[in-house]
Structure formats: C-alpha cells, structure tokens
A and B are shown apart, each in its own frame.
Chain A
C-alpha cells in the first residue's frame, strides 16, 4: 500500500511542523503518523467529507460577505509537546500580565510615559484610547478577561508573537467544535496518546466573569452581548452562551435605568451584572461612542463606570493591542514585571522615525507592511508577493499616515501537512492560544486555534482569505489519566419481555 505521506514534499524555506526530513516525523508526531498511515487515501477522503458535512449540519459557520460559510476543518491535527506548551503557557501568561499592567497604567497614573519608556505621542494618537476609561478601575482590576496571542513559528523553528488581541479575540468556538468533530470522525487517532482536553474553557470563562462582578453581588448574572445573527462570529457567541448556560442578549434586550442594566424578559426586567460583550467599543454605547449604533445599549458605559455592571473585556483595551504598542511589549515586560520576555516578537520596525521610514519605504518589496489597528489580516501588504501597484499605494498610505503602519521582516510561517483533495500538502499555519484571566491566575486553554492558509503559498491565515483550521493537540505528560476512573459495575439486566415475565412469576 502506498504511503499517504510518500509524495509529501517539504518546502525549503519553512519549518515543517510534522517532518524533520522527508518521511521522518518529529517525536511528538510519531504516534499520529503511525495512526494515519494505515488509513488509505479513500478512507481519509471519506473522513474529510464526513468532517465537512458535520460542520455544515451543526452550523459551524462564519459569515463572510453576508454569506454563512462552514469554517473548513483539516483532517490532520497539529501537535504540540508538553515541554513546548509549557513555554507557551509561561510566555503568554507573562504577556497578558504585562498588558494588564500597561492598561492599568494607561488609564491610571501613566507612569510608563512619565518614565520615558513609551512616547506620550503614542497614547495621544491611539484611535483606541478612550478618555471615558480614564480613572476607571474595573471591580477585580481585570481588563483582559480573555486574551488571544497570535504565535507563529519562524524558519528556525522558534515560536514568536505576531500580534496581541485583548479586545474581543474570537475563534475559541472552533477549538471546541474541532475537537468534537475530530473525536467523532477519527476516534482511533486519540487512542495512542493522551491529548489534553479543551472542554474546560466555558466553565473557566464563566468563573472568571463571575469573579469580575461588581462588589457586593453574590450571585451575579452574566450575559453574552452579541451584535446579532449577521455578525461574522455569531456562531461563537451563541455557542459560548449555551455552554456557559447564560443568556445571549442583543443590545435591544438590554435597558439602562438609573445606571443599572436589566434585560427584558417574559417576567419583566431582570438585573444584569456582567456583560461579556462581543461588540467593539465603537458600537457599545451610543451615548459615548458612535451615536448611530443600534447594536449597543445606551447608558451601559455610565452604568459600568458607576460600578453597577462589569464590561468584559474592558473598554479602551484597544490601546494595548495597537501594533505600534506591540513593538514595545518586550520593554513593557521588563518595565512592569522585571522579567525577560519568554516569547520574542517578530522583527518589527517603527515608521514614526523618518530615517527608518525612508529605509522601509525603499525596501517595501522585502518587508511586510501592516496597519496598526487592522484586524483579520485586513490591509496587510506582503512585499515579496505584492504587485508594483500595491506597493506604490501602500508607500503612499505610509507617507500619508506613518503612525498607522508598522513594517516587519517577512516570516515564512511554518508548514503543516494539510489534506487538500487527494493528499497531504504543506500549508502555512499559525497558532492563537486563548488565555482567561480571573484576577488570580491566567489560565490557558490547552492548544488554541491553529489556523491554516488553504491556498498554496498563502501566508495570511485568516478565514476571510480562505483559511481553515486544525484541531490542536497538546500532549500530556502522563499517559491517559482519564482512563483511571473505572465505571461502577452494572447490574445484569436485559430489557426483554421474557426476562420481565420470569421475574413476575
């Protein structure tokens, strides 16, 4: 039987996640490799179809250009060994703690600017700095209840941070659904080794949100606030609400009276204490932000400032995931925590310095140019792949508004075997681990979302550019601790008429 990985060719430029050399898998992939190999092409193709159908049936979709699309799940998981995962946990935790400290400082004493670690100008020019949040400290001090730190692996195999997301990072629902779908479609893959479970996430999130409730509320009511069914991530909002067992509300379900927020129910109004919002600041409250927004709830921000409701993630967090601030995060880690960064940044250039800017504009064809507040891969120009026209227009854009851009050394993201059509081929991937901060501890969901760019050679992994995802496995240290719980013996009983009849006699 032909080996499915026989024709798999390793790219020369990228680090391959699975293979050291052609045909030789890395240690953490050996069990997976051994489990996949005996399955022939036909078998794997039918499993791939089964996966796709399961996602369509369960409605695991994202909205793109007004159309509901299933989020493609690749058949071949991504595997991370326990030691490397430990580094990710410590690195991400450190980063979240530094960003929390930074936000607390920005909306408080602003010492980081007074000490000259970061220029004042950066604060004043940030589109996501909100004065309304100044001097407003949330109940347990947490602003980043949920953080998503995007990691990539460079050509030498080192993990580095591509960007921070501390506003409303999305994607965790796909982590949960991917695992469910994989466990149903390819259960045999899980038999060989212990893969750390992911289903703890909703309980962790709910606990963190409850701990963030206003002081004096003993049994807080938590809600998830969604913009509605037309939002790209609506599926995720609904899933999280369902798994946490809380209401999924839209702005029109909430009402603010006397600085208190309630939801309109069939039994009248019920108080709300914690709003896990999945709406951007701009649309959250027409009294403070965009007056034309009908998605939010008028009065919500005042109610939160008055300490009657907690908004999660915090208002004004965007100042911390500005990509120009990103270039300072290694310094912030040193400044606030007195630690060395455990995960380094991708080599990045600030364009506010004229010399640097001129150099970067000249070398635009060898760099990646990114808008500082673009989400979802929007506006990114990858120099080596861009056309002359694209380069010219991005040069102009940078000259017009240098504060709005950063330049990065292009990193060939690592590749992972991905099932396309009839066989596995190398495709670029990244990783978004999710961190939940409950005020005492920053917990990481084991694994996170591995996104994969499905078109050949594509380096932007976002779903809006035809990206898919992979189930992400973190291997446990020990073998199968789950199996240690043995089921209690079941009494012998068979549900047949004969058995019932004899008993009666």
Chain B
C-alpha cells in the first residue's frame, strides 16, 4: 500500500521533475543551436521564443548563451532551474533517496564553479547530471507516489518543451529538431537518413521516450496510479481527462495529414498541458488559503 504524501511534498517533487527536465531540454536546445547562432541572428530570436523569453533587442550569440545558461537572475536559465531544483530537493530530502539529493546538491555546487567553462562543456555537464538524477531516482526510489510526482513533472515538462521547440522551429531545419531532442540516431535507425518523418517521429513515435506521445502516455500512467478510478463511466480526474483527450487526438491523427495539422495540434497540446497542470495543482497540491483553525 502506498503511503499518503504531504501535499506540499507532492508539489515540490513535481517541480523538481519539471526543473531538471527544463534544464536538460534547455541545454540540448542551446547545444545544438550554438554553432548556428554565430551566423544566423534569427536563431537567437527563435530560441528566445521557444523558452518564452520576451526579447526586445537582438542579442549576440555569446550574450544569449550567457543569459540562458549561466545567468541566475534569468528565471528560465539552466543555472536558475538547477538551483530551484536543488533548493526544492533540500526541502524534501527526507522523502527522496539520499543519492538523488546528493546528485542535485553536487550538481548545484559544481555548476556554481563552472561559469568559466566553455558552453559546450557546461551544457554537456548539465545533460549528464540530469540523466544521472533521473537515473538515480529510477534506480533508488520505490515506485510510489513520490516517484510518480517526479515522473509526472518530468513528462509534462517534456511535452511542453518539445511542443514549444516544434512550434518555433517548424519551418526550420528538421535535423536540428532531432538533435535538440536527442533523437538523431534513433530516428536515423528507424527512418533512414531522410529527415521527412521527423515531425511524425517527435510527435507520435511509440517507442522513442522523448516523443510527445510517449511522454503523454507516461503522464497518464502516473495520474492513473495517483487517482485510482472510482467511477463507472468517464474520467473523474480533470487532469487525466485533459491529457487523455489530447493524447487520443494525437495518437489517432491521420499520418497523411499530419504535416498540415501540426500547427493546430501544437496549440491544442499547449492548451492541454496548461489545463492539466492547473488541474493537478487543484487536485493534489491544494493548501488552505491561510492559517485556519476550527474550534473544538
């Protein structure tokens, strides 16, 4: 039997999953784009757009990396995400495994010393540490609600980041998209050297763990385990319903029309993500509004 989890802790775990996935995804995007940014100022703008940063004037490539990777005052930066994950983990270290906590703590301490390292080394380090954290969580934590909230956060963040990436780079280079998602080799082994099926692969592949469909299915599994079904018909949990609906819509899309339907699909996905997050917050993380006391 799984043990009930404090709402505050569930929320923190969910955000640790999101922060680390965000740091990982941002590092991937920056890494594959770094060399392009030098000769294409457009790339900078689209990356900012991907990460939801409003950018009034164009930034140089160096400035851009500095801001998105190292800058602690930029909330979307890698450094800020890692710090947020580590500070959150510090508040829940009694429920995560000490190895997972130590991983985040060491990552943060080392990251603070790294700003002098060239971007490629820095970004590679972030990706490795993110993989290490999720690996340790997988290897050392029971498959209970603690672990599910971390995975839930990671899956939803992955859907969110991948759809943003696709939305911004839709007209652009397909190879870059694949590289940024770590899907390059996996794709080539499946579809050959031709990048035609890249969108299909990133959105709909059944086997690739970073595809949108795969991430949605993972999130659904977590939510199903978190809220055992008690109703005969329909889905009682609004978060599960939102994700399930958009997942089925995506899964049963006619592949022949995929190319045309992508922009519309991406919008739906973003909306579903947002409403799922909101529903999760209401369902699990609900805290009382203020200190309350009901008398005897």
Contacts and interface: CB of A to CB of B under 8 A. Distances in A.
- A-B complex is real: yes
Interface of A: 56-59, 228-229, 234, 238-239, 241-242, 247-253, 255-259, 263-268, 270, 286-287, 294, 298-299, 302, 306
A79 to B, nearest CB: 28
B207 interface: no
A356 to B, nearest CB: 47
B294 interface: yes
Given A59-B105, A242-B98, A270 B4 contact: yes
The interface centre, meaning the residue of A59, A229, A242, A252 with most chain B CB atoms within 10 A of its CB, is A59
Interface stretch (B89-97, B156-164, B178-186, B243-251): B89-97
A208 B142 CA distance: 28
B153 to A, nearest CB: 14
Given A242-B93, A264-B287, A266-B7, A256 B102 contact: no
Given A239-B94, A298-B292, 13 more contacts: A57-B102, A57-B106, A59-B93, A229-B90, A238-B90, A242-B93, A242-B94, A247-B6, A253-B8, A255-B294, A266-B6, A266-B10, A287-B293
A257 B102 contact: no
Given A59-B105, A259-B296, A267 B98 contact: no
B94 A248 contact: yes
Given A229-B91, A252-B291, A258-B296, A265 B102 contact: no
B291 A298 contact: yes
Interface in B20-71: none
B113 to A, nearest CB: 12
Contact of B4 (A229, A241, A266, A287): A266
A241 B5 CA distance: 14
6 contacts: A59-B90, A59-B93, A228-B91, A242-B95, A298-B291, A298-B293
Given A229-B90, A264-B287, A255 B292 contact: yes
Nearest to B110: A57
A93 B296 CA distance: 39
Interface string B75-118: 00000000000010011011100100110011001000000000
Contacts of B87: 229
B226 interface: yes
Nearest to B226: A266
B89 to A, nearest CB: 9
A253 B9 CA distance: 9
B7 A265 contact: yes
Contacts of A251: 291
B6 A253 contact: yes
A400 B117 CA distance: 59
B291 A294 contact: yes
Contacts of B6: 247, 249, 253, 263-266
A264 B288 contact: yes
B220 interface: no
Contacts of A294: 291
A256 B288 CA distance: 12
B288 A255 contact: yes
A59 to B, nearest CB: 5
B63 to A, nearest CB: 30
Given A59-B105, A287-B293, A250 B284 contact: no
A256 B98 CA distance: 32
Contacts of B291: 251-252, 286, 294, 298
Interface residues of B, number: 31
Given A248-B94, A298-B292, A58 B105 contact: yes
A251 B288 CA distance: 12
A123 B5 CA distance: 43
A41 B59 CA distance: 52
B93 A302 contact: no
Contacts of A306: 296
B94 A59 contact: no
Contacts of B109: 56-57
A266 B284 contact: yes
Contacts of B5: 265-267
B152 to A, nearest CB: 12
A287 B145 CA distance: 34
A89 to B, nearest CB: 30
Interface in B161-184: none
Nearest to A264: B7
Contacts of B226: 266
Contacts of B10: 266
B241 to A, nearest CB: 18
Given A59-B101, A59-B105, A298-B292, A252 B4 contact: no
A341 B8 CA distance: 48
Contact of A266 (B94, B145, B296): B145
A252 B93 contact: no
A222 B284 CA distance: 22
B293 A299 contact: yes
Contacts of B102: 57-59
Contacts of A247: 6, 9, 94
A132 to B, nearest CB: 15
Nearest to B88: A229
A302 B296 contact: yes
A256 B295 CA distance: 8
Contacts of B284: 266
Nearest to B8: A253
Contacts of B93: 59, 238, 242
B3 to A, nearest CB: 9
Contacts of A268: 4
Contacts of A252: 8, 287-288, 291
B94 A241 contact: yes
Point out which of B4, B284, B292 has the most chain A C-beta atoms below 10 A from its C-beta: B4
Contacts of B98: 58, 242
Name the residue among A239, A247, A263, A294 with the largest chain B CB count within 10 angstroms: A247
B215 to A, nearest CB: 22
Contacts of B90: 59, 229, 234, 238
| Interface-centre pick from A228, A251, A263 (highest chain B CB count, 10 A) | A263
Contacts of B145: 266
A254 to B, nearest CB: 10
Given A249-B6, A252-B287, A257 B294 contact: yes
A250 B93 CA distance: 14
Interface string B201-217: 00000000000000000
B8 A250 contact: yes
A127 B143 CA distance: 49
A265 B94 contact: no
Contacts of A259: 296
B137 to A, nearest CB: 16
Contacts of B91: 228-229
A259 B296 CA distance: 5
A273 B295 CA distance: 18
